[in-house]
Amino acid sequence: MPPKKAVKEEKILLGRPGNSLKSGIVGLANVGKSTLFQAITKCSLGNPANFPFATIDPEESRVIVPDDRYDWLCEKYNPKSRVPAHLTIYDIAGLTRGASSGAGLGNAFLSHIRAVDAIFQVVRCFDDAEIIHIEGDVDPVRDLEIISDELRIKDIEFTEKALENSKKLTRRGGQSLEMKKLKEEEACIEKVLKLLQDGGDVRKGEWTVKEIEFINPLFLLTAKPVVYLINLSEKDYIRKKNKHLGKVMEWIKEHAAGDPIMPISICLEERLTRFETEDEVKAELKTLGVESALPKIITSMRKVLNLGSFFTTGTDEVRQWTIRNGTKAPQAAGVIHGDFEKTFIQAIVYNFASLKEMGDESEVKAKGKVMTKGKDYVVEDGDILLIKAGAAKG
């Protein structure tokens, strides 16, 4: 008999499943969060005032995901309707030392972070006598430690409560399968608690698939992916130098190795929004010899959320759809319409790279690059799909 095929354990991610994921802009008060929100969303929501807690309720906006593939497809098909991919971003009130025990906006602030799936952490590295710092002076490493400590302290509180509830259930004892699962869950929560008490973040822990299934319903703050945004003055951003950068990089390397770190000048990005046309913006950036950091920030966030795209194309509409990487064809079809997942028959698939290389669909087909795929096909980033589905039952 041939050897049995090894069953590949499906990777489960920390965090909520799904494609409609949200990112929150987080940081201490007066570090540039609301100004960044306005610049990145090109809207006047948010409240960039020069005092702590100017933003109380989180503002929400969707930003277009920059993608050359989508632009190329729109140019090719010149469709009546164009629908790019979006990323939802929240501007969250400034955190303060002691937030985990209710200081400042305290628990309300932390519940706003709990509601997002990933964090843009803004770290102030610019000096400006007119913009007060809640701690009195500019010290980015101290700020990083405050946020890290506050999120971890709150997670310890959440985890201790979860452990207490778990122990109430396991005290009953017994040998049932349900009890076995409860005991495994309790052991996992204890492991999470120890990591947090030792100063670790949940997203940096080593977890099995089963443990991740236990961790995800806890919605822990330190489980969320983080993109660090180092907010520089315009002058420092242009010259790519800042007196705080070395220490900031050292801190992140020690405490959050592997997390993306991106320099940005939020005051420059805000100034660029005042130009009336895109051409004027490009001319200004060319004069300064720099690029806007915003496109890269958006694509980096999609990457840490493990999001990818597929396209539907034609002269009626070109649309970019957002999925988690690793999504199978029926679930991708369900993003277009819920009924398509239930009645999925097959997907006609070719990748954008093949279309761009060969110029048109007939050439892609002639070269044998068009595939017919069933329910087990894992959609790749950049796939162009035509879904075939049956009629939905009434």
pLDDT in tens, 101-127: 554 444 566 778 888 999 999 999 988
Bridge partners (DSSP) of residue 89 are 23, 61
- Residue 374, annotated as binding a ligand: no
Residue 186: pLDDT above 70? yes
Q: How many domains does the chain have?
A: 2
Average pLDDT for residues 234-260, to the nearest whole number?
A: 94
In a domain, 313, yes or no: no
- Residue 232, annotated as binding a ligand: yes
Tokens of 110: 């932390």
Residue 285: pLDDT above 70? yes
Are both 286 and 347 inside the same structural domain? Answer: no
Are both 384 and 285 inside the same structural domain? Answer: no
Residue-wise pLDDT for 256-274, tens only, equals: 999 999 999 999 999 999 9
Are both 144 and 28 inside the same structural domain? Answer: yes
**pLDDT of 354:** 95
Terminal-to-terminal C-alpha distance of the chain = 47
- Residue 231, annotated as binding a ligand: no
Give the least confident one: 90-94, 205-209, 230-234. 90-94
Average pLDDT for residues 55-75, to the nearest whole number?
A: 83
- Residue 365, annotated as binding a ligand: no
Burial class (CB in 10 A: 0-12, 13-18, 19+), 366: exposed
Q: Are 119 and 225 in contact (CB under 8 A)?
A: yes
- Residue 309, annotated as binding a ligand: no
- Residue 33, annotated as binding a ligand: yes
Band (pLDDT 50/70/90 cuts) for residue 43 is low
Are both 153 and 297 inside the same structural domain? Answer: yes
Give the least confident one: 128-132, 203-207, 312-316. 128-132
Band (pLDDT 50/70/90 cuts) for residue 330 is very high
Are both 281 and 355 inside the same structural domain? Answer: no
What is the span of the domain harbouring residue 366? 326-389
Are both 335 and 297 inside the same structural domain? Answer: no
Are both 354 and 289 inside the same structural domain? Answer: no
Tokens of 69: 């593939």
We report the CATH number of the domain holding residue 179 as 3.40.50.300
Tokens of 83: 């629908």
Are both 243 and 363 inside the same structural domain? Answer: no
**pLDDT of 114:** 84
**pLDDT of 28:** 86
Are both 241 and 375 inside the same structural domain? Answer: no
49 to 30, 84, 266, 292, 323: CA distances (angstroms): 8, 32, 14, 23, 36
**pLDDT of 45:** 45
